[in-house]
Amino acid sequence: MKKQVFEGLSPAEIKEINAETSHYEDKAAVSIEALKIVQKYRRWVSDDCLIAVAELLDISPTQLEAVATFYNLIYRQPVGKTVIHYCNSVTCWMLGSDQIQERLCRHLNVGLGEMSTDGEYTILPIVCLGACDHAPVAMVGDELRLDLTENAVNEIFGR
Ligand code: FES
């Protein structure tokens, strides 16, 4: 008999994922939702959690990793409480998103993808956020910030 090892997951996570899978014949259909559930509790998805979720969904860790890699809002490394996604697609890039990213990283004393020492922030790139007419833009947590300028540090952290 196959041993079930969901040890990387909490009972609450397992319960929520099972509730999602109950709506589908193919458990794999909830791959992204299951990863989001784990991330809601932990802010990121560790290798152990990914393996446990794959087991729960009856798919291979490789399949689930492919989903996690494709969906850039699933974090596979620890991140700060607030993730700042700056858009680095063409319009934002032409209007200075690289400089904004450098200023934000310098302000927090972090590299891209690193967590600030207080655990509050991580800065990551993201593709077009669909607000090109207000470029350059960033998502600060769930909040879209438009028309950023060279004062982006104040515009983002000054509130
Ligand atoms: S290119 Fe940045 S929002 Fe579209």
Interaxial angle between packed helices 31-42 and 47-57, expressed in degrees from 0 to 180 and rounded to the nearest 10: 140
Task: Give CA separation, 86 vs 69, 101, 130, in Å.
Answer: 18, 7, 12
For residue 59, how many other CB atoms are within 10 A of its CB?
A: 18
Architecture of the CATH domain 82-157: 3-Layer(aba) Sandwich (3.40)
Any idea where the domains of the chain sit in the sequence?
11-70, 82-157
Alpha carbon distance 108, 115 (integer Å):
9
129 lines ligand 1 (CB under 6 A): yes
Question: Which residue of 84, 86, 89, 101 sits with most ligand 1 atoms within 8 Å of its CB, as the best mutation to test the pocket?
Answer: 89
Each residue of 41-71: pLDDT tens digit? 999 999 999 999 999 999 999 999 999 998 8
Architecture of the CATH domain 11-70: Orthogonal Bundle (1.10)
- What is the model's pLDDT at position 143? 96
Alpha carbon distance 124, 109 (integer Å):
14
- What is the model's pLDDT at position 6? 65
Task: Give CA separation, 142 vs 5, 22, 139, 145, 149, in Å.
Answer: 33, 28, 6, 10, 20
88 lines ligand 1 (CB under 6 A): no
Residue ranges in the chain whose pLDDT is less than 70? 1-7, 159
Ligand 1 nearest atom to the CA of residue 131, by list position: 3
- What is the model's pLDDT at position 76? 95
User: Same topology for domains 11-70 and 82-157, yes or no?
Assistant: no
Ligand 1 nearest atom to the CA of residue 128, by list position: 4
148 lines ligand 1 (CB under 6 A): no
Alpha carbon distance 151, 20 (integer Å):
43
Alpha carbon distance 28, 122 (integer Å):
30
Alpha carbon distance 61, 144 (integer Å):
33
64 lines ligand 1 (CB under 6 A): no
- What is the model's pLDDT at position 158? 84
By DSSP bridging, strand 138-140 and strand 143-145 are antiparallel
